[in-house]
Chains A and B, each alone.
Chain A
Amino acid sequence: MKTMEIVVTGMGYSYSDDHTIIEETLNSIRQRTGKTRFIHDIEKSAVTAVSFALDDAGIAFPSGRDDIGLFMGIDDSVEDVKDDFFMGVLGNGIYGASPLMFPFTSPNAFSAQITIVFDIRGECVLTPVNYSCEDVIEYAAMCIRNGYTKTAVSGGVLSRGTNVYEAEFFVLEDAQAAKDRGAKAYCRLTK
């Protein structure tokens, strides 16, 4: 059996303190997708980084495709949201909890927002990580190699201090498929 070669065809990076870049990018995304509401800094950073990666790879969005999957890692950043929500419960009673914040206490809210904004309908996996998203990128590559997805958007969000987040995403695909659609390849994944 011929071994499939996986290449990186798009890269995107975002830092939550780069407010101007993020707001400009989100405005552009609003115009392209009609999605208007972004609440949390983790979400804003992640959506911005994914839009850069997809644009870089030349993949149009909203996608509407179920052969593109999202494979995302997130560290304990999400615990900040959970703390805020529960402090609201303690302050205002069980009926005083914030309905806006509750959905974001589930870590996959951030991967979900990415799938919603870019209309990515394929595999969707969220992995809580310690300090690196390498493992989730390896899993994404394995899914391409074995035909579970054609293209993968993979990466994650890591905390870089109190309420400061760094998001980095890559577009992975089969080298031949990338070549056939005329996409550039930054590098190939050796494992």
Chain B
Amino acid sequence: MTDVWVTAMGLVAPLRPFDTIDAFWDALTSGEDSIKLQPPPLLNTKKGWLTASIEIGNALRPEDKFFYIAGAALKMAIEDSRLSAEELQGADMVIGSILGNVLSRERQLIDGNIQNRTVEASLSYPVRCLGQRFAIGGRLRAISTACASGTDAVGIAARTIKTGEAEVVIAGGVDVLSDFALAGFNLLQALTEDKVRPFDKKRSGLALGEGAAFLVLEAERHALARGAKCYGRVLGYASRADASHLTAPHREGRGLASAITAALSQSGLRQYDINYINAHGTATVYNDLMETKAIKLALGEAAYTTYVSSTKSMLGHAFGASGVIESLCALMAIKTGVIPPTINYRYPDPQCDLNYVPNTAKATPVGAAMSLSAGFGGQNAAVIFGRPTKI
């Protein structure tokens, strides 16, 4: 099986506007908080919500945001990759999303247009639309595994290359803030009215976010032949089901621990080789406890010497995009030797007793990093990245 390289990245995310991944990374590792009180995208309500949103200006309608940010992030990744038009024509693409362009359907329903659902609302549409727009001519695949969608997209893309079915696969995740999601997560009492405080004893819930991120994955021999740069390698990936509850995680982290163990086994690494984990870290009471238990179950004593941080404390929860954004963060930690912090951390929780990199970034060499995702329906996914091969 061939090695899988990550040869390009593209991202549109909250935080102050940035043109490059390095600028995003500087803001993130300085602990910038993008979460603020804002109205829902389309509905008129008196109440505001703590969200992390991307400004698109007044020239575009809210329902245009999905394809605007997806297109911008994919363009950035393609330019970064320097793939030729011919190479793009042969590339596959996998995109993870939970709700797709939900705002376009919301607008239709608000306008009373119930019967004529447009194709734009279809979850299989974004990957087809973006594939056509950027002339990506290989297999186009959509993934919707709740909050694990992005991580699964990266993992499935890597497997497609590893098993020789493709040379280049673009993996992405896109989701936008919607009234739909705000109403639903509000129902579940999962939204915080305080700061987002992952792993803190006084954590009180998540803030919804949005974003689009793309990674270009490539077979090593293909990347070498065209002189591509390498941000890192995909070493292992696994998906696992809790088979437990429709909305709550398995209390002992059974599925996530199994995913970590399987991904580690594929990577050929040992537990102590993982230097950094970008956690799912939503700041809900149950997720953070479950995730801590899963990491300890899978890594044993090594869990206590591994840095674990939640970038959702700064970026909010970007649904299906979060797995790709956080994979990008894991790769940047490897590249720069800087681990982003978990901000707003004040009171240690005796049950969440790992090193969560509280409030300030940590400079340390990172040889291997893992990104974790867990979602509705007991979806779990773990993906492991390693340093570029020394040529």
Contact = CB atoms under 8 A, between A and B. Distances in A.
A79 interface: yes
A19 to B, nearest CB: 23
A145 B47 CA distance: 52
A95 B40 CA distance: 13
A108 B375 CA distance: 10
B144 A116 contact: no
A111 B282 CA distance: 23
Contact of B187 (A76, A90, A102, A123): A102
A89 interface: yes
A143 B242 CA distance: 19
A54 to B, nearest CB: 14
Question: Taking each of A89, A106, A123, A143, which has the highest tally of chain B beta carbons within 10 Å of its own beta carbon?
Answer: A106
21 contacts: A76-B121, A79-B122, A82-B99, A85-B184, A87-B114, A95-B186, A102-B183, A103-B377, A106-B375, A107-B144, A108-B379, A113-B246, A115-B243, A116-B246, A121-B255, A123-B241, A124-B145, A124-B377, A125-B143, A127-B142, A130-B128
| Secondary structure type dominating chain B contacts | mixed
Contacts of B186: 94-95, 97
Contact of A105 (B128, B180, B245): B180
Question: Taking each of A109, A121, A146, which has the highest tally of chain B beta carbons within 10 Å of its own beta carbon?
Answer: A121
A78 B379 CA distance: 18
A56 interface: no
B239 A123 contact: yes
A97 B183 contact: yes
B286 interface: no
Interface string B128-166: 100000000001011111100000100010011011010
Given A128-B122, A135-B141, 7 more contacts: A66-B258, A76-B121, A94-B182, A97-B186, A109-B376, A120-B241, A122-B240
A162 to B, nearest CB: 10
Q: Size class of A's contact patch?
A: 35 or more
A99 interface: yes
A112 B378 contact: yes
A120 to B, nearest CB: 6
B123 A125 contact: no
Interface of B: 1, 40, 43, 45, 47, 98-100, 102, 105-106, 109-110, 114, 117, 121-124, 128, 139, 141-146, 152, 156, 159-160, 162-163, 165, 179-180, 182-184, 186-188, 238-247, 254-255, 258, 262, 375-379
A135 B114 CA distance: 31
Contacts of A99: 187-188
Given A107-B144, A125-B152, A90 B109 contact: yes
B120 to A, nearest CB: 11
Contact of A109 (B183, B244, B377): B377
Interface in A38-90: 66, 69-70, 75-76, 78-79, 82-83, 85-87, 89-90
A116 B244 CA distance: 5
Contacts of A109: 246, 376-377
A127 B117 contact: no
Contacts of B124: 75-76, 128-130
A119 interface: yes
A145 B109 contact: no
A68 B359 CA distance: 41
A142 interface: yes
Given A102-B188, A125-B156, A108 B245 contact: no
A79 B117 contact: yes
Contacts of B152: 125
A93 B238 CA distance: 40
A67 to B, nearest CB: 10
Nearest to B43: A94
A112 B241 contact: yes
B243 A116 contact: yes
B110 A90 contact: yes
Contacts of A79: 105, 117, 121-122
Contacts of A124: 145, 239-241, 377-379
A121 to B, nearest CB: 5
A119 B243 contact: yes
B159 A115 contact: no
A126 interface: yes
Contacts of B244: 116
Contacts of B375: 106, 108
Nearest to B185: A102
Nearest to B147: A106
Given A108-B144, A108-B375, A142-B159, A121 B187 contact: no
Question: Taking each of A78, A97, A102, A116, which has the highest tally of chain B beta carbons within 10 Å of its own beta carbon?
Answer: A102
